[in-house]
A and B are shown apart, each in its own frame.
Chain A
Amino acid sequence: MTAQELSPPDPAGGSRRLLDYRFDIVGRSKLWFTLSLAVLLVGLVSMAFSLASLGTPLRLGLDFAGGTLLDLRFERPVTTDELRRALQEHNLGSSIIQLDTQTGQEALIRMPPLTEQERLAVEETLRQQVGPFERNLVETVGPTVGRLLLRSGLVAVLISFGLIVVYLALRFQWDYAVFAIVALLHDVVLTTGLFALLGLTVGMEVDSLFVVALLTIIGFSVNDTVVIYDRIRENLRLVSRKVSFAEVVNLSLNQTFARSLNTTLTTMLPLLAIAIFGGATLKGFAIALLIGFSLGVYSSIFIASPLLVWWRQRRYGGKGDPDSLPSGAEG
């Protein structure tokens, strides 16, 4: 069996590297943790700035902030000024207006939540003062709807975490499960932080699809972590007890490295295409997934496993392997 290649060194070999692998990932744990902390800091600062300037840590889209959105295609090119003048009649002059830069015919108008009657009145004024149009999109979301969406999203994230912990604790051990969740939290928090940054810099808004994206990221990132854990478990069975836990983890990470990269690449190719060429509705979604999946594969390799090693070394001493403890000492 494969145990052959993982055989312990001959006793005379002394300090020779026990296992043959290319990257010492666990050995540079500090570097990885620092990198993540730096990104976390950027995210937190962005959220703080966003909180100060927008009143919310993220730039909230219609789904969460509530409001009325009109997407109108006029028969002739229009200007923002004439639209604003028409809106002024309804005291909506401060609405956000986006014009399609290419044709100037399509306008996105975002207003505070309007009742159906108010909306129709606004449309009538626009039709009279600016010109006839075709309605592409009408969205009205009451402010309470957003709160409900946000709450059910948060609940969904928490329940997913709970189920994943239980499943992983059953299939592996409870500390594996805990660090998998730490890695997931890492992905969710950093993605959110980066979206706060995108909200500040390019005006990226979060909508209900962002919550879906976070959940998908959780689903995929835990995948990467599980595949690595699976390999660690398998290798632990194959290697001799003299090999430290850190070495086993390093070996497993190296063995699964190609798979992790290739899988992430193949998943990201369609997403990249959607982010660049896809319809506007899916763009933000695809970008969230791209960021989250990258963080997910990073955290699986560079966060979850090194943390597991750190913990086991602390708990079980030098080798980090419960089996290497004197008998009876295991809790």
Chain B
Amino acid sequence: MARSLASWLNRLAFLRGLVFILAVVVALTYLGLSREVRLGLDLKGGTQLTLQALPTQEVPEITPEVMQGVEAVVQQRINGLGVTEPLIQISGRDRLFVQLPGVADPDRAVALLGDTAQLEFRKGLVPVSALPRNEQGEVTAGENPEALFERVGLTGDLLRNAYPQAPRRGSQSWEVLLEFKPEGAEKFAQLTRELAGTGRPIGIFLDDVLISAPIVGPEFARTGITGGTAVITGNFTVETATDLAIKLKAGALPVPIRVIENRTVGATLGEESVRRSLYAGIAGLVLVFVFMVAYYRLPGLVADLALLIYALCTFALFQLLGVTMTLPGIAGFILSIGMAVDANVLIFERIKEELRAGKSLYKSISEGFNRAFSSILDSNVTTLLVCGVLFWLGMGLVKGFAVTLGIGILVSFFTAITCTRTLLLAAMAIPSLRKPELYGVRMEAAQS
């Protein structure tokens, strides 16, 4: 009487465990599927750049402050580009790591980010007609710009805003409209007053290259051009005008930067490689599932169930933590499933041993779990240590791998022990499943 009550209570406890697991599965499936999977650049296509800040005579050392300045300007310029979810990160002493998802055409981005974009208005010292010209007949500042133009301190810092502007009637060329801050407006008025009617040009320099040399009409001789706006004309297309406006608005970079690494993946390639690797991984896992049932029988089937729960839990956790899936990330995930299988293999081998030693099924299972525990703990901790090092020291893709493998191991530690145990003990509650053969141990061995 007391025995049947105890077993009845036991069964109730396992039922509760089962209901709990089921609830977790449903909740995690819902959470996992309700969000869009965040794919890394290597999977959905995009551009990844590493920029290096270069010291100049004025800024001989790249300090953290300089890097913050560079980061802010790059950030502004990328915002102008309209990329969704860009990533900009200072890495190391003088590097900036930029990810532009979906930008499969890096050329414009590179051009946009690479220029220092130091705009400067200088006072012409000779008439336009005396300026040197290049092969296309455009005016240049020649070999020695200092002899032709004088710096007056009117630079891009004094701009408030810049816009692209459609071509005027009769012209093909777009323009860039500038709005000065009050101090800039004053300087600009003074500069134009001095130059009005003299035939000497304003030199508009971008990164020390003369891009335009307009002259100021004599009507401005008394007041200069007031109102704080100016227009740069040149051979601009809609794109180049937009890009220059973006750069000017974002301000100049404090130091020049150079692209030292560029990785661009076209969207189609990314899609194809994710599909192939994912299918291959899934095919491998199916084989693992089959192997587990073939070799370990009932516990193998239970382990497969636990593994499915594991995969769901881990995936849901990735989604909740906002882990970005990259190709190495998927590899880490698949490997972590291998680790989860390992925990089960350790336990089942132990159960078999206990059964062969002649213990009862129930005792063998609980002993199996207890004895395998320290092995599982030690092996998981050592792998986690390596994951930690990878995460701490690794960059980009390596980090993704460490994150998915690490999360996977933590989850598997939970599911391999809790889930498998609950499910196995629940199966034990069904009398027809209490046969040693179902645990891959031959009858005589179990009885001996």
B394 at interface (Cβ–Cβ under 8 A)? yes
CA of A149 to CA of B269, assembled, Å: 25
Of B26-34, B385-393, B415-423, which stretch is located at the interface?
B385-393
B277 in contact with A263 (CB, 8 Å): no
CA of A216 to CA of B339, assembled, Å: 12
Which residues of A are found within 8 Å of B280, using beta-carbon distances?
270, 273-274, 276-278
Interface size class of B (residues with CB under 8 A): 35 or more
Q: B379: nearest residue on chain A (CB-CB)?
A: A223
Of A77-85, A96-104, A205-213, which stretch is located at the interface?
A205-213
User: Of the candidates A5, A134, A141, which one forms a contact with B357 in the assembled complex, judged by CB atoms under 8 Å apart?
Assistant: A5
Which residues of B are found within 8 Å of A219, using beta-carbon distances?
382-383, 385-387, 405
In chain B, residues 250-296, which have Cβ atoms closer than 8 Å to a Cβ of chain A? 259-266, 268-269, 272-274, 276-277, 279-281, 283-285, 287-288, 291-292, 295
CA of A218 to CA of B405, assembled, Å: 14
B335 in contact with A273 (CB, 8 Å): no
B262 in contact with A116 (CB, 8 Å): yes
Which residues of B are found within 8 Å of A312, using beta-carbon distances?
none
CA of A159 to CA of B394, assembled, Å: 12
Which residues of B are found within 8 Å of A137, using beta-carbon distances?
263-266, 269
B157 at interface (Cβ–Cβ under 8 A)? no
Number of A residues contacting the other chain (C-beta, 8 Å)?
72
A263 in contact with B342 (CB, 8 Å): yes
Closest-CB distance, A2 to chain B (whole angstroms): 6
Given A156-B389, A212-B390, also A262-B338 (CB < 8 A): no
User: Of the candidates B295, B381, B389, which one forms a contact with A160 in the assembled complex, judged by CB atoms under 8 Å apart?
Assistant: B389
User: Of the candidates A138, A168, A215, which one forms a contact with B263 in the assembled complex, judged by CB atoms under 8 Å apart?
Assistant: A138
CA of A120 to CA of B284, assembled, Å: 41
Query: How many A-B residue pairs lie within 8 Å, measured between CB atoms?
Result: 218
B287 in contact with A277 (CB, 8 Å): no
Binary A-proximity of B40-60 (CB < 8 A = 1, otherwise 0)? 001000010010100000000
CA of A269 to CA of B342, assembled, Å: 13
A270 in contact with B285 (CB, 8 Å): yes
B277 in contact with A136 (CB, 8 Å): no
Main secondary structure of the interface of A (DSSP, over half): helix
Closest-CB distance, B394 to chain A (whole angstroms): 7
B328 in contact with A209 (CB, 8 Å): yes
B217 at interface (Cβ–Cβ under 8 A)? no
A311 at interface (Cβ–Cβ under 8 A)? no
Which residues of B are found within 8 Å of A167, using beta-carbon distances?
381-382, 385
B398 at interface (Cβ–Cβ under 8 A)? yes
B263 in contact with A226 (CB, 8 Å): no
A90 at interface (Cβ–Cβ under 8 A)? no
B378 in contact with A226 (CB, 8 Å): yes
Given A209-B328, A270-B338, also A227-B291 (CB < 8 A): no
Q: B260: nearest residue on chain A (CB-CB)?
A: A142
User: Of the candidates B269, B295, B337, B385, which one forms a contact with A164 in the assembled complex, judged by CB atoms under 8 Å apart?
Assistant: B385
B114 at interface (Cβ–Cβ under 8 A)? yes
In chain A, residues 163-181, which have Cβ atoms closer than 8 Å to a Cβ of chain B? 163-164, 167-168, 171
B268 in contact with A136 (CB, 8 Å): yes
In chain B, residues 203-221, which have Cβ atoms closer than 8 Å to a Cβ of chain A? none
B261 in contact with A270 (CB, 8 Å): no
B273 in contact with A280 (CB, 8 Å): yes
Of B64-72, B103-111, B161-169, B425-433, which stretch is located at the interface?
B103-111
Given A211-B398, A223-B379, also A135-B386 (CB < 8 A): no
User: Of the candidates A145, A216, A227, A265, which one forms a contact with B50 in the assembled complex, judged by CB atoms under 8 Å apart?
Assistant: A145
CA of A2 to CA of B273, assembled, Å: 51
Which residues of B are found within 8 Å of A136, using beta-carbon distances?
265-266, 268-269
Can you list 22 pairs linking A and B with CB atoms under 8 Å apart?
Answer: A116-B107, A137-B264, A138-B264, A139-B262, A139-B263, A140-B262, A142-B260, A156-B389, A209-B397, A219-B386, A222-B383, A222-B386, A227-B378, A230-B374, A262-B295, A266-B338, A270-B281, A276-B280, A277-B283, A278-B281, A281-B42, A282-B328
Chain B interface (Cβ within 8 Å of chain A)?
Answer: 42, 47, 50, 52, 92, 104-107, 110-111, 114, 259-266, 268-269, 272-274, 276-277, 279-281, 283-285, 287-288, 291-292, 295, 327-328, 331, 334-335, 337-339, 341-342, 345-346, 349, 353-354, 357, 371, 374-375, 378-379, 381-383, 385-390, 393-395, 397-398, 401, 405
